[in-house]
Amino acid sequence: MGAIDDRREYSIRRMGELKQALSGAQEIAGAKACVFASGSFGRLEASEHSDLDPCIVALSSRKKESKLSLLQEIRLKSEIILAVERLGLEEIDGDGKYIGQFTDRSLVGEIGSPIDDSSNTFTTRLLMLLEARPLINEKIFNNVRTDIIEAYWVDFDRYQSKFVPAYFTNDIIRLWRTFCVNYEARTRKLVGELRIKKKVKNYKLKHSRILTCYSAILYLLSMYSTNGTVTQADAVEMCSMTPMERLLSLRGNSDLSHARGIIDSLVEMYDRFLHTASQETVKLEQQIQDNEGYTRDDYKFGQEMFNAINSIGGGNEFHRLIIV
């Protein structure tokens, strides 16, 4: 696992440096908010070419308002941007306009609501659960994440012995479908160099997004296949892992020995993808333009993930829910 281990080591080192560089941000946030990173840093697979995807989650007051004032939010975002610059990381995408700011109440309370998509709470909530690492106030981060999981497990008491996390799983699948639709919408009319650049970005993201979403589903499915139910504690444990850690935990599960070969294949394919994606952008653009065979590896990775779901699910009730 050369590329996987190298990226993990780099990510942990840089995340440690970021936490130190964000001491000013910690003072501003106080006990009112946390900051987390999603994307490649959240997955612990960043490289020197990776940019940071930060997000702020503030606690809510009794009036359902953010405990962070608007001025504190601006100062906090400024500290994050300055820390990135001081450490020589890639510039934050979109001139910083994608640095999200949400409240714990909105991330929990808007689950399934009509504004869940338009307010971007849906994507933020799922990324916080599936591929995030705290940079400031880890305790607040963990508490908010646990509150979100509790909301998804609201019916657990009625079905303890055979609980299928349908609500949560449907949202994970919905996140994956949203990624796919967004890509089509943004590239349909692009031509020439712009289309090639978008294809490169899609190549880099498709593997990671499949892994983020379906490693979570695989983990939960394995719990159901082994125990006949999925508890809130199972979900908390799953969310504490990176997507790759989930795969590796499945590989080490003796109850899933029949799926070991498929899991090994997924790990090897992902390691190869990370190695390929580490190339200079110009070289990768040329290879994709020439339509070299490995650019279809994302489809092969998706097929192998499908094989893993079938092997671990074995046709049980949870498995059926994922398909239909």
Mean pLDDT of the 123-142 span: 98
Q: Percentage of the chain surpassing pLDDT 90?
A: 78
pLDDT value for 279:
80
pLDDT digits (tens, 9 = 90+) for 29-78: 999 999 999 999 999 999 998 999 999 999 999 878 899 999 999 999 99
pLDDT at 204 exceeding the cut of 70: yes
CB 294 within 8 A of CB 213: no
Averaged over 290-317, what is the pLDDT?
A: 85
Give the CA distances from residue 134 to residues 34, 129, 187, 214, 229, in Å, rounded to whole numbers and listed in that order. Answer: 7, 11, 32, 22, 29
| Max CA pair span of the chain | 58
Alpha-carbon dihedral angle through residues 171, 142, 236, 256, given to the nearest 10 degrees: 100
For residue 259, which of 250, 268, 269 has the smallest C-alpha distance? 250
Mean pLDDT (whole number) for 147-157: 97
For range 141-155, the mean pLDDT: 98
The pTM score is 0.93
Q: Over the chain, what is the mean pLDDT?
A: 92
- Distance, in Å, from the CA atom of 294 to the CA atom of 300, rounded to the nearest integer, reads 10
User: Could you give all domains of the chain from N- to C-terminal order, each with its CATH number?
Assistant: 2-152 (3.30.460), 156-323 (no CATH)
Locus of tokens 């070419």: 49
- What strand order describes the sheet that includes 133-136? 100-103, 53-58, 33-38, 133-136
What pLDDT is attached to residue 206?
87
Range from 42-46, 138-142, 200-204 carrying the lowest mean pLDDT:
200-204
